[in-house]
């Protein structure tokens, strides 16, 4: 390897003096445009360091002359957005639920707010479409445990069901089998009775045996005809809509164990406007009865 600088005969450039296996390196200067951009970047970085937050320290960071802060910017943007929405929010807070439903603009606003809150807070239990699942009622149909009027829905959302709230909706079906209130064969007979109530084929002898037991133990909540009672959250047993399942095993399990679903109270988590928007959203999607 030679270390002699020389002038390259072909290009007229100086070489760096490095040579590998007969290949020599030209000492071509950097293009001027490239150099200017390079210096420009250095100058930009220096100015940026001075103006913007940039250097981390042990307990904080350099704030820069402009005191720019992404967090403060978000707060400012949100405040702007809230001011813009304040008019609609104001009208929402003074309007009654019925008025909101009748005012297309206000209803559209409530539906949008309701949908987004539902997706973040309610869909985990009620499903993303609100169609529910075992133990979690479908909110898209007009079958209600606790009532489907605007006021009923608002009350359920605000105070919850069997929830940690003094005003919560409450009732508890006894565990007739587990707590030995009824004999195992009585629970089996009652299962047939409930199947018959919902207009399906059932063991007639069992149904006859269960009839007085139903009147004595179940009618107080589900009604003498099994039509249910929304004041107790007791479902109608004569329809084809089942919270815990339509089959004999599910019905037997409910009579034996007396499950009671828990719906959280949202009154202390959301402001009154948000509850209103959710109420209008649920009511509208259930068919609005
Ligand atoms: C932790 C699960 C859970 C969450 C989260 C939840 N719910 Fe519920 N919800 C339930 C259960 C369980 C019931 C049924 C209670 C019962 O069995 O009586 C219910 C019942 C209801 C009912 C009454 C249905 C009827 O038939 O009367 C409404 C309305 C309702 N929920 C709305 C909401 C809204 C709105 C939200 C979100 C803000 C929400 N729920 C979040 C579990 C939940
Ligand atoms: C104190 C009131 C109460 C009494 C008494 C009661 N139930 Fe219930 N029952 C309920 C409630 C409330 C539910 C709904 C539970 C829930 O929402 O999680 C329910 C649910 C049911 C279900 C499930 C319905 C479904 O949609 O899945 C069946 C079946 C049932 N009861 C049958 C009976 C029978 C049979 C008796 C009498 C042996 C009885 N219940 C007595 C309150 C009562």
Average pLDDT over residues 203-230: 98
pLDDT for the residue 162: 97
Q: Which two tokens stand for residue 158?
A: 């605000």
User: CB-side exposure of 261: number of CA atoms within 13 Å?
Assistant: 19
Does the beta carbon of 190 lie inside 6 Å of ligand 2? yes
The answer, yes or no, to whether residue 2 has pLDDT greater than 70, is no
pLDDT at res. 3: 67
List, in order, residues 6 or more apart from 219 with CB less than 8 Å away.
226
Report which ligand 2 atom has the smallest distance to the Cα of 190: 35
Does the pLDDT of residue 288 top 70, yes or no? no
- Whether 163 shows a pLDDT value over 90: the answer reads yes
Centre of ligand 1 to C-alpha 86, Å, is: 29
Between CA 23 and CA 189 the distance in angstroms is: 100
Look at 17 and 102; give whichever has higher pLDDT: 102
Ligand 2 touching residue 197 (CB < 6 A) = no
Q: The tokens 């009618």 sit on which residue?
A: 219
pLDDT of 289 reads 52
* Chain-centroid distance, C-alpha 135: 18
Q: Residue 84's pLDDT is what? A: 75
Give the per-residue pLDDT at 16.
86
pLDDT of residue 130: 92
- 34-91 pLDDT, tens digit per residue, is 999 999 999 999 999 999 998 888 888 888 888 888 888 999 999 888 887 788 888 8
Q: What residue has token string 């220096």?
A: 46
192-210 pLDDT per residue, tens: 999 999 999 999 999 999 9
The rounded mean pLDDT for the chain is 93
Q: From atom 13 of ligand 1, which residue's Cα is the shortest distance away?
A: 263
CA–CA separation, 117 and 114 (whole Å): 5
Q: What is the longest distance spanned by two Cα atoms in the chain?
A: 117
pLDDT tens for 239-281 read 999 999 999 999 999 999 999 999 999 999 999 999 999 999 9
Task: Output the six-digit token pair for 69.
Answer: 């802060």
Candidates 149, 161, 263: which one to mutate for ligand 1, based on the most atoms within 8 Å of Cβ?
A: 263
> Radius of gyration (Cα) for the chain, nearest Å?
36
Look-up of token digits 């179940």? 218
Please write the tens of the pLDDT for every residue from 105-147: 899 999 999 999 999 999 999 998 899 999 999 999 999 999 9
| Nearest in space to 273 (alpha carbons), one of 132, 127, 154, 122 | 154
111 lines ligand 2 (CB under 6 A): no
């Amino acid at each position: 390897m030679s270390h002699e600088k020389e002038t390259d005969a072909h290009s007229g450039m100086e070489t760096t003096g490095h040579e590998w296996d007969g290949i020599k390196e030209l000492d071509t200067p950097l293009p001027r445009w490239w150099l200017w951009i390079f210096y420009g970047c250095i100058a930009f970085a220096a100015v940026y360091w001075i103006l913007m937050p940039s250097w981390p320290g042990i307990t904080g960071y350099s704030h820069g002359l402009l005191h720019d802060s992404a967090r403060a910017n978000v707060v400012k943007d949100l405040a702007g957005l809230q001011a813009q929405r304040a008019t609609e929010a104001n009208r929402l807070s003074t309007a009654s639920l019925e008025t909101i439903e009748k005012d297309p603009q206000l209803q559209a606003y409530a539906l949008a707010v309701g949908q987004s809150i539902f997706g973040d807070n309610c869909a985990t239990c009620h499903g993303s479409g609100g169609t529910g699942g075992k133990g979690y009622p479908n909110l898209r149909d007009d079958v209600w445990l606790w009532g489907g009027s605007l006021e009923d829905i608002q009350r359920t959302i605000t105070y919850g069901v069997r929830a940690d709230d003094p005003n919560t909706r409450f009732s508890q079906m006894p565990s007739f089998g587990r707590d030995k209130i009824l004999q195992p064969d009585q629970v089996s007979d009652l299962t047939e009775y409930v199947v018959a109530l919902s207009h399906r084929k059932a063991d007639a002898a069992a149904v006859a045996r269960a009839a007085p037991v139903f009147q004595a133990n179940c009618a107080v909540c589900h009604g003498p005809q099994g039509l249910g009672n929304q004041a107790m959250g007791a479902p109608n047993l004569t329809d084809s809509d089942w919270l815990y399942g339509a089959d004999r095993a599910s019905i037997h399990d409910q009579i034996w164990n007396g499950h009671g679903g828990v719906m959280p109270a949202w009154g202390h988590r959301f402001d009154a406007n948000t509850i209103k928007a959710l109420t209008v959203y649920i009511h509208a999607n259930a068919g609005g009865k």
